[in-house]
Structure 1
Amino acid sequence: MTDGAPYRVDCHVKVLDDRVVERATRAGLDAIVYAPHFTRLPEIRERAAAYSSEDLLVIPGREVFTGSWRNRKHVLALGLEEPVPDFIPLEAAMAEFDRQDATVLAPHPEFATVGLTESDLRRYADTVDALEIFNPKHLPSHNRRARELAETLSLPPFTSSYAHLPRSVGVAHTAFDAAIDDERDLLSAIADGVARRVIYDNGCDRWTTTTAELAHLAYENTWEKVDRLFLSGTEPTHPNHIAYDGRFDDVAVY
């Protein structure tokens, strides 16, 4: 935050290139959280560092797919010291986040079959640091439900573009009322419940974004594509991958 201005963060994007940086800068963002699917933490960190600058801080994150593909829950973890794979039970992932003292965000709660439920959020209330209350992929009823959950469970809110397409970056952001200079400051602001505002465009541009992102979601969730590319046991974030040194073999669901 500079001269009392809020620190503006798009808390969850899936893509990162020159177009994304240009779009984020044009939207007046100070930082974005980069958390692509099925990509190992060292690679995410390296790419985030390459695109960070004085004008835009890029924070590495991991949206872990817990459970099986057909019955998965997404959890967004920041500040991880060691990689955590996909396709392990929710309880195993949360225990690992606790062990590493990660900052844990709950994206798109109760959305389709991939968001944490109210029961999940109550169970892991001491682990989850913030709950997404607006997501461009959501319909209005989903966002209303997310706000209800945040209020009922007293969880600090956040929002993001959840951008899988560069054009979506910055359509929603969280403005923190805190002096933030680096990744550590941002994670502390999230975890400590620092005052923040959830800001988004709910006009025609928002619905154009929603339509494009939902179309991309339909392609991304094609079972044939997932089965062919991600469930072979050799992809980078599979728990049986050599990179995890067998630590998660006993809890892998595939």
Structure 2
Amino acid sequence: MATHPVRVLTAARQGFVVARADFAAFYTWKTWLGGWLVRVLCQVTFYSMIGAMVGDADYTVHMVLGAALMICVAESLMAVASSTWDLNLGTFPLLAASPVVPGGYFAGRSAMWPLSGTVTTSVAILVMSLFFDLGWSAADVPLVLLLVLLTSLSMYCVALVVGALAVLVPGARNVMSAVVTMAVTAFCGAVVPVGFWPDPVGWAARTVPVTHGLDAIRALQAGADLASVARSAGLAALAGALWLALATAAFRALFAHARRGSAALT
């Protein structure tokens, strides 16, 4: 049975209240700017130096954009861990007993990560543009920001699927997010083109939204026509929507199982 959109949005808003509280407990504006942002800028600089050492200007740009986009991927995948926090807090049974929409709640529950990832990746790209000739025009900058936001949100949908699996094995949550991050970095075009890998790996990589997000932002940087950029962005959005549908089904199944278990005890 389809869930009314208003109920979904209400659940997402309720989840986001928790997300904001969690993020405020993690960071102040000083620790976010002076700690996390500086750390990720150093990471992008490190990987960019690899491209510079190769001595190929095109590959340097490839590495700069790949390393920067991987920041929002890594941050979005922090949702794998935060999806299990309700278990640790003992609030998961209460959620399961409530009429909350599972997919909506968990979509809002960890939304601080893709939003933070959008900001950090955008700052990284703009800062790296001061040191490497990425050739952005003033008109390109809003498009860059939109593509980063799209990539962050679509990868968040992937993280929600992994997060639903992590609810079943919460002790493995950090391992799961680390393995997915490494696989995405290796196979989805951040370091080497997707075509470098055997065809089956390339086909699998095309199911991951960041592969298309990287294609879109690199096409924009290379001066491709907007139709090419929009096509890649559309594929990223489509992949993200499919992962979101899978995540919604996964959380619905988890709650249905928990509710059946609760009913059996009454």
TM-score with structure 2 length normalisation? 0.26
Higher RCO, 1 or 2 (CA under 8 Å, sep at least 6)? 2
TM-score calculated relative to the size of structure 1? 0.26
